[in-house]
Amino acid sequence: MIDLSALKDNLDEWQKALDKRGEKYDLKKVLEQATKFGQLVKELDDIRAQQNKASKEHNIVEGKRLKKLEMAKVKEMEAPRGNHFVGDVPNIPLWDVPEGRDEASMRILETVGKTPTIKDIKDHIELGVGLNILDIERATKTSGARFYYLKNQAVELEFALVRWVMDLLKTKGFELMIPPQMVNRMTMDAGGYLRKNEDEVYQTQDDLFLIGTSEQSILGYHSAEIIDVPKRYAAFSTCFRREAGSYGKDVKGIIRTHQFDKVEMFSFVLPKDSEAEQDFMNNIQEEILQGLEIPYRKVLLAAGDLSTPSAKTIDMESWLPSQQRYRETHSCSNCTDWQARRANIRYEKGKFVHTLNGTAIAIGRTLVALLENHQQADGSVKIPKALHAYLSFKEIR
């Protein structure tokens, strides 16, 4: 949720920044709507105060009249507000985020590592099936499309990746966490994952939501609190996503699935420190990719590709030999105070923290990059040295 007082002072500047997203939001009308809504809240409070007085005086006729007024006022407050409702306005992109909403609009900041020369490239599906560490066919039988079984050495490799990354993050000052994998509506909405995005999340019959990332649970951990900052958490969880609308040969296999495991970084910081915190997280992501000996490039997303809560997102895209292209395996977003306002998380009275989230390791996509980049001519896969201490093998064959 955006800061209305700051919006009044920066209306034209914020409107130009928001326009870079390519969506139609009239911030002047947002201010008008918010002012009107605030007035309705005051009027409703006044009606309810009068109701209390009528009740104490046992004035039944006046109580009935006021009840009708209350119901009408509530109905007016709940009327559809569309893009002019302040709660539906996405975060304002930071000044250096480029305009646009396609791949050509993003900015490549750096390319790191030499792409491997592989004569007869196998994709991760052929490699995984051949090594008996991956089974997609039987997962389709039990669960439908976009599920998979990890088997044998791939299972050991997943836990090695998690342990290695968790050990690294401990040295960086992160508290380790395994969060709930279902959250309530208030928590999910505070993160910015409902309203326009509700069709992307799984909902239970008890009105709980399966998390698509542990960012959602961690945000709720400090909701309605005043906290000391910085606070940094590294959380392991299984994640669930509908992935509605995504298709094509470039997402086959285990690149884009409905269920996957991930370690997520999440930080609560002072507003003045959020840009530096994003650099800090990006450096950790690069350290992880370099440790895994995976070539990658660092990309600043264009405004039109930002998620609703993000003011700036930098992706790390790993090289996939089978596709001869880079694909996103890590993402890091500065959400400024947008989520903190919705979740009411402050560092002192009336002052909201900034929140940031970043992928440490997403198991599915990382396994794809590992298998493909470290494949050998005989179909085996070498394991990067960084993981040797966590495994009983140095190659999968």
Looking at residue 329, the DSSP 8-state letter turns out to be: E
> Rounded mean pLDDT of the chain?
92
Ordered by start, the domain boundaries in the chain are: 4-88, 103-396
More confident residue, 237 or 103: 237
> Residue 88 has what pLDDT?
83
Q: Return the closest-CA partner of residue 155 out of 330, 294, 359, 363.
A: 363
Question: Which residue's structure tokens are 């993000």?
Answer: 310
Residue 203 has what DSSP assignment? B
**Ranges of H-type helices in the chain:** 4-9, 11-19, 27-56, 60-77, 124-130, 137-143, 153-171, 185-190, 215-221, 274-291, 338-343, 363-373
The conformation of residue 373, written as its DSSP 8-state character, comes to H
Q: Lowest mean pLDDT: which of 46-60, 66-80, 156-170, 335-349?
A: 66-80
Q: Pick the catalytic residue from 21, 146, 232, 241.
A: 241
For 363-392, what is the mean pLDDT? 97
Mean pLDDT for 300-313 is 96
User: Which of 21, 256, 341, 346 is labelled catalytic?
Assistant: 256
Return the CATH fold of 103-396: BirA Bifunctional Protein; domain 2 (3.30.930)
Q: Residue 146: what are its φ and ψ, rounded to 5°?
A: 65, 40
pLDDT at residue 80, rounded to an integer:
52
Catalytic residue among 158, 243, 275, 328: 328
Length of the chain counted residue by residue: 397
> Does residue 328 have an active-site annotation?
yes
Written as one letter, the residue type at 328 is E
Q: How far is CA 323 from CA 367, 368, 392, in A?
A: 15, 11, 31
Q: Summarize pLDDT for 269-288 with one digit per residue, the tens.
A: 999 999 999 999 999 999 99
Query: How much is the pLDDT for 316?
Result: 98
* 246 pLDDT higher than 70: no
The pLDDT score that the predictor gives to residue 291 is 98
Given a contact cutoff of 8 angstroms between Cβ atoms, the answer to whether 328 and 358 are in contact is no
pLDDT at 207 over 80: yes
Active site residue 48: no
pLDDT surpasses 70 at 242: yes
- Of 331, 333, 342, 372, which residue is the catalytic one? 331
CA nearest to 223, candidates 339, 335, 310, 338: 339
Q: Is the pLDDT of residue 340 over 90?
A: yes
Q: What is the pLDDT at residue 62? A: 92
Cβ of 76: how many Cβ atoms within 10 Å? 13
- Residue 83 in this model has a pLDDT that exceeds 60: no
- 365 in catalytic set: yes
For residue 73, the model assigns a pLDDT of 82
Question: Does residue 333 have an active-site annotation?
Answer: no
What percent of the chain is modeled with pLDDT above 70?
95
Q: Which of 21, 267, 365, 372 is catalytic?
A: 365
Among this protein's residues, is 397 annotated catalytic?
no
pLDDT tens for 157-185 read 999 999 999 999 999 999 999 999 999 99
